[in-house]
Amino acid sequence: MKSQALIFLGAPGAGKGTQAREVSKEFGIPQISTGDILREAVKKGTPLGLAAKVKMEAGQLVPDEIVCGVVEERIGEPDCMSGFILDGFPRTIPQAQFVDRALENKGRGKPLVINIAVEQDVLLKRLTGRRTCSACGEIYNIYFNPPKAEAVCDKDGAKLLQRADDNEETIRQRLVAYDSQTRPLIDYYRQKNLLHDVEGNRDPEPIARDLIRFLKSA
């Protein structure tokens, strides 16, 4: 894999987090999820969390300058030296332009952008059914990938949690935000010849297998 910076693009529920975890394990590079970082900040009640909370609860995007600051700091950490996966960032054209500048400044070259495409009607069910392990972050789905025992993680027995923004009303807002602000990034990266499309309407395992094979050859 030549390109050190991977960007995972896709609607809410497309499977960015699920696939990024697999790619991170395979290549030993960190998964940087802006959603996870923001949720952690909300939980701790930090100034960042306070600034993000209202937007996240409403299913709207957190302002660019806040999210770009978070990413700038994170990609400067030592574990990002040999590459990283941006999961859920960039999500607006200004954020994409920020990534371009940041990579150029670090002499890292162009990113490789993975676009996971999933039909709209599937997304709602994926999101309302999602449960996440409170200890290890493993992602489950009560419809598509249920844990062996109800509401506990197969790996460590910890409690599974449902995200506050995975309710129907907020999901609809998140999908609106995706359509108006994030979808244009598909063309942005396609025009630059940096986009690789992945068919996301399949089980997670074949998607991960194809993706890893592609990345090994990229």
Interface residues toward ligand AP5, by CB under 6 A: 10, 12-18, 34-35, 38, 55-56, 59-62, 67, 88-89, 91, 95, 126-127, 129-130, 139-141, 144-145, 165, 174, 202-204, 207
Q: Which is nearer to Zn ion, 121 or 148 (CB)?
A: 148
Instruction: Return d(Cα 3, Cα 144) in angstroms, integer.
Output: 32
Q: Is 131 a catalytic residue?
A: no
State how far Cα 44 lies from the chain centre. Answer: 21
Using Cβ positions, the residue closest to ligand AP5 within the complex turns out to be 35
Asked if the bond preceding 63 is cis, omega within 30° of 0, the reply is: no
Amino acid code (one letter) for 73:
E
The one of Zn ion, ligand AP5, none whose footprint includes residue 53, by CB under 5 to 8 A per kind, is none
Q: How far, in Å, CA of 8 to CA of 16, rounded? A: 6
Residue type, 179: D
Active site residue 74: no
Q: Give me the 107-146 binding string for Zn ion, x by CB under 5 A, dash otherwise.
A: --------------------------x-xx-x--------
Question: Looking at beta carbons only, is 142 or 194 nearer to ligand AP5?
Answer: 142
| 16 classed as catalytic | yes
DSSP structure class, residue 201: S
Residues 155-194 interacting with Zn ion (rule: CB under 5 A)? 155-156, 158
The H or E element containing residue 56 is: helix 47-58
Residue 160 interacting partner from Zn ion, ligand AP5, none (CB closer than 5 to 8 Å by kind): none
User: Which of 39, 74, 126, 130 is the catalytic position?
Assistant: 130
* 125 has catalytic annotation: no
- Element holding 37 (H helix, E strand): helix 34-44
d(CA 193, CA 174): 27
Q: Which does 213 bind (CB under 5 to 8 A by kind): ligand AP5, Zn ion, none?
A: none
Determine the Cα–Cα distance for residues 62 and 189; give it in Å rounded to an integer.
Answer: 22
* Enzyme catalytic residues: 16, 91, 130, 163, 174
